[in-house]
Amino acid sequence: MSHELPHPVPGIYIHYKGARYEILGVAHHSETEEAMVVYRALYGDYGLWVRPLEMFSETVEVQGEPVARFTLEKAF
């Protein structure tokens, strides 16, 4: 891969839909070595999730405007 995405720092992030998540770090898929962000929901059953770094870092369109999928609220 010629372009490495920056890894998010551990901390609390806000998803563009409003939910809060604790980002724990970045892991790598055992077969593909794809970078995956490991995070915990700060609501409901506090489930543990992974999302490809590329998807975590992308922008999405909201009401015709590009916004970050996740925004850092507080770094640890």
33, part of any domain: yes
Rounded Cα–Cα distance for residues 24 and 9 (Å): 8
Tens of pLDDT, residue by residue over 9-55, are 999 999 999 999 999 999 999 999 999 999 999 999 999 999 999 99
Q: Can you say whether residue 25 is alpha, beta or left, with left for phi > 0 and alpha for psi between -120 and 50 degrees?
A: left
Residue 46: its pLDDT value, please? 97
- Considering the domain boundaries, does residue 4 fall inside one? no
Q: Are 14 and 68 in contact (CB under 8 A)?
A: no
Q: 35 in a domain, yes or no?
A: yes
Expressed as residue numbers, the domain containing 38 is 11-75
End-to-end CA separation in angstroms for the chain: 29
In this structure, the number of other CB atoms found within 10 A of the CB of residue 53 comes to 20
Task: Give the span between the Cα atoms of 38 and 45, in whole angstroms.
Answer: 16
Give the pLDDT confidence score for residue 6 in this predicted structure: 84
Q: Residue 59 falls within a domain, yes or no? A: yes
- Does residue 2 have a pLDDT over 70? no
Q: How confident is the model at residue 3 (pLDDT cuts 50, 70, 90)?
A: low
Q: Does 64 reside within a domain?
A: yes
Looking at residue 41, which CATH number applies to its domain? 2.30.30.320
